[in-house]
Amino acid sequence: MGYLFTSESVSEGHPDKVADQISDAILDELLAYDPNSKVACETLVTTGQVVLAGEVKSKAYVDLQEITRDVIKKIGYTKGEYMFESNSCGVLTAIHEQSADINRGVEREDPMEQGAGDQGMMFGYATNETENYMPLSLDLSHRILVELAAIRKEGKVMTYLRPDSKSQVTIEYNEENKPVRIDTIVVSTQHDDFIKPDNDSVEAQLEADRKMLDIIKNDVITILMPRVINSIHHEDVLKLFNDHIIYHVNPTGKFVIGGPHGDTGLTGRKIIVDTYGGKGAHGGGAFSGKDPSKVDRSAAYAARHIAKNMVAAGVAEEMLVQLSYAIGIAEPINIFVDTYGHANVNMTDAEIADKIKVLFDLRPKAIENNLKLRNPIYSETAAYGHMGRDSKVITKEFHSRYQESKTLVVELFTWEKLDCVDKIKEAFNL
């Protein structure tokens, strides 16, 4: 019997994602001026206010207020009517030095024996149902909001759009766990109050709200969704779009109050959006604001790198990889693999895990080195997912009133590279 599966995404203007982007922008600035920085930065955003907290050990000194305001401006919170605006919001800082007890468990005389920055378990997942080896429902949810943000910033159509938005996609699967059609798409987008009621009556207000909703729903279906479809180049995915998709657009009828004014935002509160949309598993650790000595982040990237390369090499149709660590210990406690019965090799999942242990060095410092994680590459991860993105080389500029400006060439999303496929095929005789 077939089934339905749903994933959601949130935009860069969602309050939790505003917090994530501020935390990662601070991390990037510190890494740009001191690659050995140890950072755990948490952000809270609410009406007219940003609160920064956490622990930092770094030789760099950065302007936290300037970084915070630049992020908020870039997202699009630039009007006082949003009740959260880049120039006028308050920024309260409560950041202190990293605990010496934690630091002595991480740093070693031999850098390669660097201990894990915390205990915990991390998961990586990949499936061959999309070109980027991501769950289809999440991939489409991200695409919808990426296009919606692009439309908002272009300012040519749907000019009523505000920064906060959410999406959700439900896919129907058959008995063989293959996607057969898109069942439901949900889009909730913050908007201007662009149609005013004729008078002060409740009826007039409801009529104005209905007219706004009709325009927004029509624009989502006739402007947004064609752009989303045009961004897809996988024929099997394009076939899933049909004339019977159920659309829920702004189901409450009105979404004017939003962003940090409508809902308080916190770093690390969208960990499922950041990873696999509910597919596979999650160890519970958030990513944003953490330097790569924190295996919550770096080992999760490593596990994704392994799972994606294993699936791309043909070891399995889909794969979940679990890594776990003890604080201060370099080697992982365990490596677990689940192929969901879809392995293409005559091996048990435990035997596949043993092969992974030989193929990949999963000590924290080795992960940092192999995936180039000591670079300022994290702001780009803080919205629209950490996984399934395009690995590319870009130039980033950093300007500081305390130090000279820096121009750095960095490689983004290195954990998405298919650079281990050949050695995996050789190891598995594929």
Q: Is 82 inside a domain boundary?
A: no
The model's pLDDT over 217-261, given as tens digits with 9 standing for 90+, comes to 999 999 999 999 999 998 999 999 999 999 999 999 999 999 999
Same domain, residue pair 302 and 421: yes
Q: Is 107 inside a domain boundary?
A: no
The model's pLDDT over 287-320, given as tens digits with 9 standing for 90+, comes to 999 999 999 999 999 999 999 999 999 999 999 9
Q: Is 417 inside a domain boundary?
A: yes
- Choosing from 258, 279, 307, the residue where a domain stops is 258
Same domain, residue pair 319 and 421: yes
Same domain, residue pair 298 and 423: yes
- Going by the annotation, the residues of the binding site are 14, 16, 42, 55, 98, 164-166, 254-255, 263, 269-270, 286, 290, 294
Same domain, residue pair 301 and 254: no
Q: Rounded to an integer, what distance in angstroms lies between the CA atom of residue 337 and that of residue 241?
A: 33
Q: Is 191 inside a domain boundary?
A: yes
Same domain, residue pair 311 and 414: yes
Mean pLDDT in the chain?
Answer: 95
Same domain, residue pair 239 and 308: no
- Going by the annotation, the residues of the binding site for K(+) are 42
Q: What range defines the domain where residue 234 resides?
A: 3-9+136-258
Q: Please, what's the b/e burial string for 337-373 (b: 16 or more CB within 10 A of its CB; e: otherwise)?
A: bbbeebbebebebeebbebbeebbebbbbbbbebbeb
- Would you state the pLDDT for residue 111? 73
Same domain, residue pair 250 and 298: no
Same domain, residue pair 236 and 146: yes
Same domain, residue pair 235 and 298: no
Amino acid at 262: G
Same domain, residue pair 309 and 218: no
Same domain, residue pair 163 and 226: yes
- Going by the annotation, the residues of the binding site for Mg(2+) are 16
- Would you state the pLDDT for residue 106? 66
The CATH number of whichever domain residue 377 belongs to comes to 3.30.300.10
Q: Is the pLDDT of residue 99 over 80?
A: no
The model's pLDDT over 357-395, given as tens digits with 9 standing for 90+, comes to 999 999 999 999 999 999 999 999 999 999 999 999 999
- Going by the annotation, the residues of the binding site for ATP are 14, 164-166, 254-255, 263, 269-270, 286, 290
Q: Is 90 inside a domain boundary?
A: no
- Would you state the pLDDT for residue 103? 59
Q: Is 314 inside a domain boundary?
A: yes
Q: Is 154 inside a domain boundary?
A: yes
The model's pLDDT over 33-85, given as tens digits with 9 standing for 90+, comes to 999 999 999 999 999 999 999 999 999 999 999 999 999 999 999 999 999 99
- Choosing from 232, 258, 284, the residue where a domain stops is 258
Q: Rounded to an integer, what distance in angstroms lies between the CA atom of residue 37 and that of residue 60?
A: 8
The model's pLDDT over 343-352, given as tens digits with 9 standing for 90+, comes to 999 999 999 9
Q: Is the pLDDT of residue 102 over 60?
A: no
Alpha-carbon dihedral angle through residues 68, 390, 241, 176, given to the nearest 10 degrees: -120
Q: What's the total number of domains in the chain?
A: 2
Q: Is 399 inside a domain boundary?
A: yes
Q: Is the pLDDT of residue 101 over 80?
A: no
Q: Rounded to an integer, what distance in angstroms lies between the CA atom of residue 221 and that of residue 226?
A: 8
What letter does residue 377 receive in the DSSP assignment?
-
